Amino acid sequence: MQLPIQVTTGAGTLVPGLICAMSQAHLSQIETIWKGMLLALQEPDKAWNWAYKLRLATDEAGFEACVVEVDGLAQGVILIETQWHRSQLNGRISARLPLVYVEYLATAPWNRRGIEDPPFFTGIGGTLMAFARNRSAELGFDGRVGLHALPEAEAFYRRQGMPNYGPDPDKDGLVYFEYGILQP
């Protein structure tokens, strides 16, 4: 899969990009360039287990990883699981409907206005969520997507209009968000 898209720069202009399956070259960029940007900080390795798990997950059934790429460089990544997770909307486990579960969603270090305005690119997270929702519809899950947001990102998912199901004790109290079905 390789879809041509537009990506918004921090200055507000649109530039061509791609949304595509994560390649080994992308994974290497996350492990070297994203991480390398933070080498000036202390002990970056402690924070980098997720990239190792991302590498392992790409070989497992039911997992799919995609990136937003601009000029050959990965600007954001999403890892979804499509077989085991179920919607939280129905009470009885047997009645719960399948969904796309977002194991990881991350944007590159330089794409955040919270550090300095303007960032390099904006809207990478929203683009990856649109991909996840579309993938859910494609799989016959009607657009259902679930995820556990980090506290710093809760406001982002609220702005996306994603229903909030409160803190999940099984996930260190992270708030669970879930999109219901897309409008027909």
Q: Give residues 12-31 in contact with other proteins (rule: CB under 8 A).
A: 12, 14, 19, 23-25, 28-29
Say if CB 8 and CB 113 are below 8 A apart: no
- Residue 48 touching other proteins (CB under 8 A): yes
Can you tell me which of 60, 93, 94, 161 binds other proteins, judged by CB under 8 A? 161
d(CA 174, CA 149): 6
- Residue 99 touching other proteins (CB under 8 A): no
- Residue 137 touching other proteins (CB under 8 A): yes
d(CA 83, CA 103): 12
- Is the CB of 96 or the CB of 104 nearer to other proteins? 104
d(CA 94, CA 169): 21
- Is the CB of 91 or the CB of 161 nearer to other proteins? 161
Can you tell me which of 67, 70, 99, 100 binds other proteins, judged by CB under 8 A? 70
d(CA 19, CA 31): 19
